[in-house]
Amino acid sequence: MAKREKYKVIRKLDAGGMAEVYEAVAEGIEGFEKKVAIKRVLPHLAENKKFIAMFLDEARLSLHLSHANVVNVFDIGQAGGTYFIVMEYVDGTNLKHLMRMLKERKHILPIEQSVYIIMEVCRGLSYAHGIKDSKGKKLGIVHRDVSPPNILISNQGEVKIVDFGLAKATSQLEKTDPGVVKGKYAYLSPESATGKEVDSRMDIFCAGIVLYELLTGQRLFLGDSDVQTIKNVRAAVVPDMLQYNPNIPHELDQIVRHALAKEPEDRFQTADDFAESLAHFLFTFQLKVTGFDIRRSLDRVVGDPGKDLDKQAIIDKFIEEEIAVFASLDNKMTLRTDLTSRSLAPGPREMSGLGSGMASPPAGMRRDSSQSLPQMYPQSGLHTPPPEPDVYEDDGSEDRQNFFVGLAVTLAIVTIILAVAWALGWIP
């Protein structure tokens, strides 16, 4: 039998439609500890056998994904009648939160940073789309929900896609629990919104939606109702980006439109092609961008997430109780600390996983599986804030200000010394 891992749940991070995500610590031998994130399926959804079968199928598949731009999945477990996935903990934020913070400040990221984020997303997609089985046959992995909450940005400026394939399972809930998928329609592709079979080109379309939204600060297909949103996705009409951000070069506009082509055949056919075009754009326009720039933007826009976390630990006291129930639901999980001695911060609890050699999931569904000549575009020219919204930029004005203050003080001191020397007759 596979060795049981032990996890101490530290606190709840967030909740989506079908699961809750916790920060936890995996305890290894000799006190070795590793921070992990645990995604736990909401217990009432675990009753849906078809959903769980697909969820486990996809989760098991994601155990084999290992790439810098994909959140690693380490373990899958069962507890209290429901299931959980143990994955790499990404210390940072998600793109939805970053975009919301930017919007509140009426800012958008510099063009090259938005492009960089989507290039990194494409790297992760390209890896997953290309995975083959032992016989060299493509597994046909498709994410199906490339959307801002599923794109995590670490405090170090890394970009990682989370929840590979889980949207396929979630789509099973549409009939029984429509609330679960509510609000997720704005990141579908036209073919998925019309109930057709999807392939990896769906992810390219969705990455295109996210790029459009990053570059313009506007939601692309979101309507007043879910029905309207689906209609918008099906029509795939892409409004002029320049009305929102006049600094977007024509070449980039064309790339985004290519990714957002209504018919999959008219889009970039692979994530590599999409990423290559974006890289070519950056090169052509001499735009330098690295993860350090993303890190700086995150620092500026989101600040120190630790501050909010402390606050959350105090405010969300009910979470502690929830975790206690979570931990006591099944005797596979044992309480680590005394439940009666509660502190304000949620106390750690243990839960056990099944390791990568987990027991088989319930029987069920198996995986069905024109560029112009280079222009010397001054980098700062691209950053000129459009009237609405402004582009957030680290323009170094603070450094310049400090320099001039320093210069003025030095000049004043030199003048005083010269005046005193002259008065004392040291200099003629």
Ligand X SMILES: Nc1ncnc2c1ncn2[C@@H]1O[C@H](COP(=O)(O)OP(=O)(O)OP(=O)(O)O)[C@@H](O)[C@H]1O
H or E element that contains 7: strand 5-15
Task: Give the three-class secondary structure for 382.
Answer: helix
| Closest to 208 measured CA to CA, from 258, 266, 270, 272 | 258
Strand partners, 73: 87
Stretch that binds ligand X, among 12-20, 208-216, 273-281, 377-385 (CB under 6 A): 12-20
Stretch that binds ligand X, among 24-32, 82-90, 113-121, 277-285 (CB under 6 A): 82-90
H or E element that contains 285: none
Binding Mg ion (rule: CB under 5 A), the pick from 5, 75, 163, 350 is 163
Residue 13 binds: one of Mg ion, ligand X, none (C-beta under 5 to 8 A by kind):
ligand X
Question: Which lies closer to ligand X via its Cβ, residue 223 or residue 305?
Answer: 305
Note if 293 is an active site residue: no
> 394: which 2 tokens?
């680290």
> What x/- string results for residues 132 through 171 when contact with ligand X is judged by CB under 6 A?
-------------x---xx-x---------xx--------
For every residue of 113-175, which 3-state class applies, written as one string? HHHHHHHHHHHHHHHHHCCECCCCCECCCCCCCCCHHHEEEECCCCEEECCCCHHHHHCCHHH
Question: Which lies closer to ligand X via its Cβ, residue 26 or residue 256?
Answer: 26
Helix 271-284 and helix 200-216, axial crossing angle in degrees, nearest 10: 30
What's the rounded Cα separation, in Å, for the pair 221 and 237?
A: 8
Query: What ranges make up the beta strands (E) of 240-329?
Result: none
Question: Which lies closer to ligand X via its Cβ, residue 150 or residue 172?
Answer: 150
What's the rounded Cα separation, in Å, for the pair 413 and 15?
A: 59
What's the rounded Cα separation, in Å, for the pair 123 and 424?
A: 72
Stretch that binds Mg ion, among 148-156, 279-287, 302-310, 408-416 (CB under 5 A): 148-156
Task: Restricting to residues 89-118, name those near ligand X by CB under 6 A.
Answer: 89-90, 94
Task: Restricting to residues 27-56, name those near ligand X by CB under 6 A.
Answer: 37, 39
> In whole angstroms, how close is the CB of 283 to ligand X at the nearest point?
32
Question: Which lies closer to ligand X via its Cβ, residue 198 or residue 248?
Answer: 198
What's the rounded Cα separation, in Å, for the pair 320 and 9?
A: 10
Question: Which lies closer to ligand X via its Cβ, residue 92 or residue 361?
Answer: 92
Does 19 engage in binding with ligand X (CB under 6 A)?
yes
> In whole angstroms, how close is the CB of 353 to ligand X at the nearest point?
15
Binding ligand X (rule: CB under 6 A), the pick from 10, 87, 121, 122 is 87
> In whole angstroms, how close is the CB of 41 to Mg ion at the nearest point?
12
Question: Which lies closer to Mg ion via its Cβ, residue 152 or residue 278?
Answer: 152
User: Rounded to 5 degrees, what are φ and ψ at 218?
Assistant: -120, 145
8 Å CB contact between 13 and 24:
no
Q: What is the DSSP string of 85-105?
A: EEEE---EEEHHHHHHHHHHT
| Closest to 327 measured CA to CA, from 18, 22, 16, 17 | 22
Helix 291-301 and helix 111-129, axial crossing angle in degrees, nearest 10: 120
Binding ligand X (rule: CB under 6 A), the pick from 9, 10, 21, 128 is 21
Task: Restricting to residues 215-254, name those near ligand X by CB under 6 A.
Answer: none
> In whole angstroms, how close is the CB of 73 to ligand X at the nearest point?
9
> In whole angstroms, how close is the CB of 14 to Mg ion at the nearest point?
9
Stretch that binds ligand X, among 17-25, 198-206, 230-238, 378-386 (CB under 6 A): 17-25
Q: Which of 57, 75, 133, 145 is catalytic?
A: 145
> 273: which 2 tokens?
């092609």
Question: Which lies closer to ligand X via its Cβ, residue 18 or residue 236?
Answer: 18
Q: Residues in the site for ligand X, rule: CB under 6 A?
A: 13-14, 16-19, 21, 37, 39, 71, 87-90, 94, 145, 149-150, 152, 162-163, 184
Where in the sequence numbering do the catalytic residues fall? 145
